[in-house]
Structure 1
Amino acid sequence: MTLPEPRESARGMYAFHLKRLREEHGLSQPALGKKVHVSASLISGIENCTRTPSPKLSAAFDAYFGIPEFFTALQPRVVEEIGLPAGFLEYTDVEAEANMIKLYENFVIHGLLQTEEYARSVLSAGNRPDKIDRLVATRVERQAILYREEPPMLIALLDEFALHRPFGGREVMRRQYEHLLKLAAEPRVALHMVPGDAELCPEGAFAILTSSESPPMGYVESAGRKGLLIEAGQHLAELEVLFELIRNKALSDTDTERMIRDLMEKS
């Protein structure tokens, strides 16, 4: 695979200097991974421009190599070049450490719950073809938190509209429904549909993340692929109240499963 030129690409520059510094310090990819508490495959992926560095990892590289604001300053340009929403990788850093995730999604099935085929169809709208594979990989990689040894508790509220909106055709949707049923059977996943006639108007998708290591955080999505992390305070408290209001209107887990099975039969 031909890597982007460092002079022409932020990803290429990030990868070039990470590899250069690693080798100058006499470290293998696994050894560097241990130094900054990530896997060797992630180090390899960043050096090969197939994985995206997060702000937290970039700060760890800066601290380890003793070069303040180098990788940290370069990382936003990498994200911009790839086409990820603003604020997204900060969110995934918090998401990866959360032991409780509460989310509401109103237009599409949430990224943590998507099949790869469904994700590809969703991401194909409005993105250049050369970015799709990387965006899909980033989305699928996030889902690993649901299968780790101690997964977070996930409470997902999905608007009924999100299930009816077709992406990728009937077979893609059918496999997506099957995937939702499989996830709903997991002991630490609670999936609830919000019926279309529910009298509420949340206005947008959002998530609330709780961790034993840090204060709770919120994440709000808006038009134009923008995302905003919300720290503890009045806004986050309002999101907590809104989540409970939506949950009170949602179907039970049994009725949710029945709805998804009905959709599968019709697909």
Structure 2
Amino acid sequence: MACAAGWRPGGAIGFGGWKNATCVVQIPREPAVSTSADSPMDVGPTIARHLVRQRLRALREASELSPATVAELTGWSLSKLNRIESGDVTVQPLEVRALLRFYGVEDKNVVDTLARLSQASRTRQWYSRYRLAGDFQRFVAFEHEAAVINIWQALFVPGMLQTEEYGAATTALSMRLSPGDREVQARLKLRMDRQWAFRERLGQPGAPRIVAVLDESVLHRPLGGPDVLRRQLDHLLTLAEQKDTYSFGVIPLNLAHHSGIGGTFELLQFAGSDHADVLFVETAAGTDSLTTDEEQTGLFKTIFQDLLRYGLTGEDALDMIRARRAALPGA
């Protein structure tokens, strides 16, 4: 008996009983990720982990083995299997091969590719030294591997575009602490490291891009004082000279109704078709949320496209930044 198993990001999840543990599962070949030996090295550890957990879950469901049955066969706890399938933990290549035997997968290319992806998912990254947790940890990891970082910000210049002094002022204000506070400095260090990691990728194939849309009020809000804001606007204009890397838009104050009025967000997009978009919404209360749900990411993708359509872009956006910079005291 042959079982057909397909997978896609954000697919529906269901559990079945154990009907035939020895059926052979065939995975449809995805054009963006080949089964060659070099394939896993084309993605970072976060995407690799995501692919492994998606495919393992799809293969288990196709084999019609329940999580409880797999846990019994492997001698694992049910929580370990659930954490593997949710992407909360990595899985060793030998464990992947063992699972695939239970799932009846006999295609050597499929087995080898998933084993190599599992190895790639265990690579330690620069952000591992930070004690990040929850959705924010996942966001930083996904951001580091995104091909396009789309940002809508209505309150301040986004973290990936901030100068250090502007970032210190913004962080201190949001945390109600002084700029020199240890916790403020720790968060600022992470933000600067995120920028450094982004710049490090610019010399590599498939270099990333940032598309940022700001509300006009951001250009007027003197966080840190007029001098700090002026240097921040200068920094934006300098970044804008790298046209293949940075694109800016501005939503004018006189645009009374627009779809971004509901809140700010970041939408991460990835090369190829193997990974769904990632939506991240950060709040001052710390209730960050991250999702790959296709309905949600599709909605916010449309919102972002509307912001670009109805706002100022290109030289029009830069002219507004220049005009605001020139109007600041001491300019």
> Any gaps of 5 or more consecutive residues in structure 1?
1-35, 38-57, 67-74, 81-85
Q: Identity rate of aligned residues, in percent? A: 26
1:156-235 equivalence runs, <5 A: 156-186=212-242, 187-198=244-255, 199-202=257-260, 203-212=262-271, 214-235=275-296
1:1-267 equivalence runs, <5 A: 59=89, 78-79=131-132, 87-125=135-173, 126-128=175-177, 129-144=181-196, 145-148=198-201, 149-150=203-204, 151-186=207-242, 187-198=244-255, 199-202=257-260, 203-212=262-271, 214-267=275-328
- For residue 233 of structure 1, report the CA deviation from its aligned partner: 1.6
Secondary structure of 1:87's counterpart equals: helix
Contact 2:147 2:270 in 1 (8 A): yes
Moved segments of 4+, more than 4 Å: none
Contact 1:204 1:222 in 2 (8 A): no
What CA distance in whole angstroms lies between the structure 2 residues aligned with 1:101 and 1:214?
14
Contact 2:150 2:268 in 1 (8 A): yes
> Alpha carbons of 1:162 and 1:90: their partners in 2 closer, same or farther (altered >3 Å)?
same
- For residue 168 of structure 1, report the CA deviation from its aligned partner: 0.6
Q: Deviations over 1:48-92 (max 9, x none)?
A: xxxxxxxxxx956x969x9xxxxxxxx9x9447xxxxx5222101
Secondary structure of 2:288's counterpart equals: strand
- For residue 99 of structure 1, report the CA deviation from its aligned partner: 0.8
Q: In angstroms, what is the RMSD of aligned CA positions?
A: 2.6
Instruction: Give the AA of the match of 2:240.
Output: A
Instruction: Give the AA of the match of 1:261.
Output: R
What CA distance in whole angstroms lies between the structure 2 residues aligned with 1:172 and 1:147?
26
Contact 1:103 1:156 in 2 (8 A): yes
Instruction: Give the AA of the match of 1:140.
Output: M
What CA distance in whole angstroms lies between the structure 1 residues aligned with 2:176 and 2:186?
11
What CA distance in whole angstroms lies between the structure 2 residues aligned with 1:154 and 1:191?
8
What CA distance in whole angstroms lies between the structure 2 residues aligned with 1:178 and 1:147?
22
Normalised by the length of structure 2, the TM-score is 0.54
What CA distance in whole angstroms lies between the structure 2 residues aligned with 1:262 and 1:234?
39
Contact 1:98 1:211 in 2 (8 A): yes
- For residue 127 of structure 1, report the CA deviation from its aligned partner: 4.8
Aligned residue pairs: how many? 196
Instruction: Give 1 or 2 for the bigger CA radius of gyration.
Output: 2
Contact 2:276 2:294 in 1 (8 A): no
> Any gaps of 5 or more consecutive residues in structure 2?
1-43, 46-87, 96-127
- For residue 155 of structure 1, report the CA deviation from its aligned partner: 1.1
Q: Deviations over 1:239-263 (max 9, x none)?
A: 1111111111111211111111111
What CA distance in whole angstroms lies between the structure 1 residues aligned with 2:250 and 2:199?
20
Contact 1:157 1:247 in 2 (8 A): yes
